[in-house]
A and B are shown apart, each in its own frame.
Chain A
Amino acid sequence: MNNLTKRIESAKEKWEAFQKNKEPIIYIGAASCGRAAGAVQLLAQTDRWLKENELAAKVVQVGCIGPCYLEPLVDIQMPGQPRVSYNNVTPKLLPVILGSHVGESVPYAKAAIGHFGKEPLNGIPRFFDLPMLKPQVRVVLRNCGLIDPEQIDQYLAVDGYQGFMNALKTPPDDVIGVVRRAGLRGRGGAGFPTFKKWTACRNAPGNQKYLICNADEGDPGAFMNRSLIESDPHALLEGMLIAGYAIGASHGIVYIRAEYPLAIERLYQAMQQMRDYGLLGEHILDSDFSFDIKVKEGAGAFVCGEETALIGSIEGKRGMPKSRPPFPAISGLFGCPTIINNVETLGTLPNILRNGPDWYNRFGKEGNRGTKTFSLVGKVRRQGLIEVQLGTSLREIIFDIGGGLQKPFKAIQTGGPSGGCLSEEFLDLTVDYESLTAAGSIMGSGGLIVMDEDTCVVDLAKYFLDFTQKESCGKCTPCRVGTRHMVEILTKITHGEGSAEDLLALRTLGDTIKKGALCGLGQTAPNPVLTTLRYFRNEYLEHIKEQRCRAVVCKDLIEYRVIKEKCTGCQSCVKVCPTGAISGPRSEPHNVDKTKCIKCRSCYVTCRFEAIAGDAIVIGSVEKTS
């Protein structure tokens, strides 16, 4: 323990020295999303620029701070000055920013989005005062984008592993008590009280117990877990130590998607650092607690997010769920008592153990304590990773944090493919486990997809059902056959061939699958259809009765036309059309051959963005010839 105390002291000193930097520090957000936006190229460019200009600076890769729509983000901190954040940095813009801020010590206010100081700075707002960030409460994400995820010392400097050390001084049963008083509920979806699961496992007979971290973030449209692991891996690992200690496990396993290579890399690195610091292995910090962690990569099966399927997958079997009871807390991995906790649940633990249950109780509301992270994506202006208190309304999330939409709001999908699609009337619904369930949706792991009038809800429901159908393990009949029936019916409707009976059949099927399916994947699969049927019935009826898709999405119900008056005859669309459906001589209005058109949208996009084009191509409902 002493050894670590020393290390913490030196880490804090190092951190302070780092903050009082003598040379410029350049932070580049290089989590997966930043990289996709071009962060790697910016890194190389920065190094080149520094060399060319013979300037010295520290370049630090940080994780994701949240507002993905601003990616790539480059922050610059000059000695004695606050850190300034620049958004949407392009290779063209970078030298300008560097030249001004690093070269001449003048923040390039024109491209800056915010700064991290206390005082006003050149008209640049404070970063955390930005409308997207101000309403947020950062508990789990407190370090994301601020510390270097590859340095355990930086984590220690911000009180990392303090929660674990507190736990180690407390009997395991009392640790469970702390979690109970904090009111923490599982962040993986259903919101089962964490302490209850833990107690069952702690009391289950058996010498060998396992703790599994479920990082198989399979929900399309959700990336909270990836961001946390990439930006602050030690927070998760510390949480695992706490949970392992509390339930009496000696082995932990992180089951993580293979599609997250950077997160996996960071985990391995962090685990090695823990080992070096005596935080992993036999007799951690000279205590009686021994714990080791292994990383298992998933192999591409959404259903493995389900507890029993996940266990099967770790055992080397097909990821097919098993009926419960017996519950994993009693008989799980290799038949031993096993706790499976979500990344966010585990990532929250260090904060609770560090600051105490009363502190955590300050957030959220009765029965729904604490904060929850969401990935806010879709047609919202400010997309990204956010963290809010439970009980925040959807309106606040979409309009205050997300900045609203460009076109009118239509719907929001919560909880991914297992969740529901909620309409405008639910905007004032507070985000908590019970309210969402009552509305026919679920909290899920935290994907929030915002849709505007360009989204067809029937198509969306079909998309989700198609997804669950493809990801169904195929074991139980209701899920395997039932979702297939539903997809077929929805396809029929999007083709304009549906009938009113189909809506009844969808309801019956949905009901049967909900009641009859073996696992959570199946039981929640019909939610997107059942909710859209409930809240957007009219759109279904339009498809069925009028063969009309008001969002002009369903291909069979739309066509591409050229408005002759607007067409400049620039031939840009002729060039991009993959099937040669558009023809017409230069400078004369073009024509779309509907028999050849595959509705790929290339011409439409080209017509909108090419300067010489005149927005002449439009998409509309098929015009009926009588």
Chain B
Amino acid sequence: MPETVAAILVKHSRKPENLIPILQDVQKELGYISPESVKDISRYLRISENQIFGVSSFYAQFRFTRPGRHSLKVCLGTACHVRGGATVLDTLENVLGVKCGDTTPDARFDLERVACLGCCALSPVVQIDKRIYSRVAVNKLSELLKFYE
């Protein structure tokens, strides 16, 4: 068992209700839920790998492939939608040449959509890694991306 996963497991008791917190910690550490980590969690919590996959694939938070270097999230909450969030996403798909939910071939960006970042009054907003950009303009997006390599 890789040490990172083992270190995560010992922080939680062997109760099935700890599955989601464990998965969250694993994803925080590895960036994604690897098949190997699922096996380790399965042993630890005594839940089958299939059930773990069933639970983790239900929640939008979890991914099963290695992430790109930067996470690029476009908010498509209602306020952002009304103020052109979908256009922002379309433009980004065009600029990056990938569909929403995919990683660029050079692994620079993960392009994702989020339901709402809770900054509705500043819509439309885009989140790159931890930073939220408010009132983004479609014609300024390319410039913004240049800050991230």
Select the residue from B17, B54, B55, B58 with max chain A CB neighbours within 10 A: B58
Cβ of A78 within 8 Å of any chain B Cβ, yes or no, is no
Chain B residue at smallest Cβ distance from A449: B78
Q: Is the CB of B78 within 8 A of A447?
A: yes
Q: Is the CB of B94 within 8 A of A578?
A: yes
In the complex, A220 Cα to B80 Cα: how many Å? 9
Partner of A578 from B82, B95, B122 at Cβ < 8 Å = B95
Q: How far is the CA of A314 from the CA of B18 in the complex (A)?
A: 8
Cβ-defined contact, A602 with B138, below 8 A: yes
Q: Is B90 in contact with chain A by the CB < 8 A criterion?
A: yes
Partner-binding segment picked from B1-9, B64-72, B111-119: B111-119
Contact for A226 among B21, B80, B118, CB less than 8 A: B118
Known interface pairs A220-B78, A578-B94; A317-B120 also in contact (CB < 8 Å): no
Collect the chain A residues with CB atoms within 8 Å of residue B38's CB: none
Q: How many interface residues does chain B have, given as a range?
A: 35 or more
A438, chain B: closest CB distance, angstroms: 23
Q: Mark A303-329, 1 if CB is under 8 A from B, else 0.
A: 000000000011111111000000000
- A330 CB, nearest partner CB in chain B, Å: 20
| B 17-61 to A, binary, CB cutoff 8 A, 1 in contact else 0 | 111110110000000000000000000000100000011001111
The reply to whether B87 and A33 form a contact with Cβ atoms under 8 Å apart is: no
B residues in contact with A258, CB < 8 Å: 24, 61
Interface residues on A, range: 35 or more
Q: Let me know if B120 and A606 touch, CB within 8 A.
A: no
The answer, yes or no, to whether A171 is at the interface (CB within 8 Å) is: no
Q: When the two chains form their complex, are residues A378 and B118 in contact, meaning their CB atoms are under 8 A apart?
A: no
For the complex formed, measure the closest distance between the CB of B138 and the CB atoms of chain A, giving whole angstroms: 5
Contact across chains for A578 and B91 when beta carbons are under 8 A apart: yes
The reply to whether B19 and A316 form a contact with Cβ atoms under 8 Å apart is yes
Asked if A297 meets B121 with Cβ closer than 8 Å, knowing A36-B134, A449-B82, A598-B94, the reply is no
Q: State which of A37, A297, A605 has its C-beta within 8 Å of the C-beta of B122.
A: A37
Tell me which residues across on chain B come within 8 A of A301, comparing CB atoms. Answer: 58-60
Question: Is B138 within 8 A of A601, CB to CB?
Answer: yes
A300 at the interface (CB under 8 A from B): yes
B96 CB, min distance to chain A CBs, angstroms: 11
Q: Which of A319, A377, A455, A576 contacts B120 (CB 8 A)?
A: A377
Q: Which of the residues A298, A416, A471 comes within 8 Å of B78, measured between beta carbons? A: A416
One digit per residue, 1 when the CB lies within 8 angstroms of any chain B CB and 0 when it does not, for chain A 375-403 equals 10111000110000000000000000000
| B105 close to chain A: CB less than 8 A | no
Which of A259, A260, A609: most chain B Cβ within 10 A? Answer: A259
Cα distance, A299 to B61, chains bound together (Å): 5
Question: Does A538 lie at the interface of the complex (its beta carbon under 8 Å from any beta carbon of B)?
Answer: no
* Contact indicator A315/B115 (Cβ below 8 Å): no
Q: Is A161 an interface residue (CB 8 A)?
A: no
Q: Is the CB of A299 within 8 A of B62?
A: yes
Q: Given A36-B132, A220-B76, A316-B18, are A69 and B118 neighbors across the interface (CB < 8 Å)?
A: no
Given A36-B117, A299-B60, 20 other A-B residues pairs in contact with their CB atoms under 8 A: A32-B119, A33-B121, A68-B119, A220-B78, A220-B115, A221-B79, A222-B120, A297-B24, A301-B58, A313-B20, A315-B17, A316-B19, A334-B17, A378-B78, A378-B83, A413-B78, A455-B82, A460-B81, A598-B94, A601-B138
- Can you list 7 contacts pairing A with B, beta carbon distance less than 8 Å? A33-B118, A221-B79, A317-B55, A318-B58, A384-B121, A449-B82, A463-B81
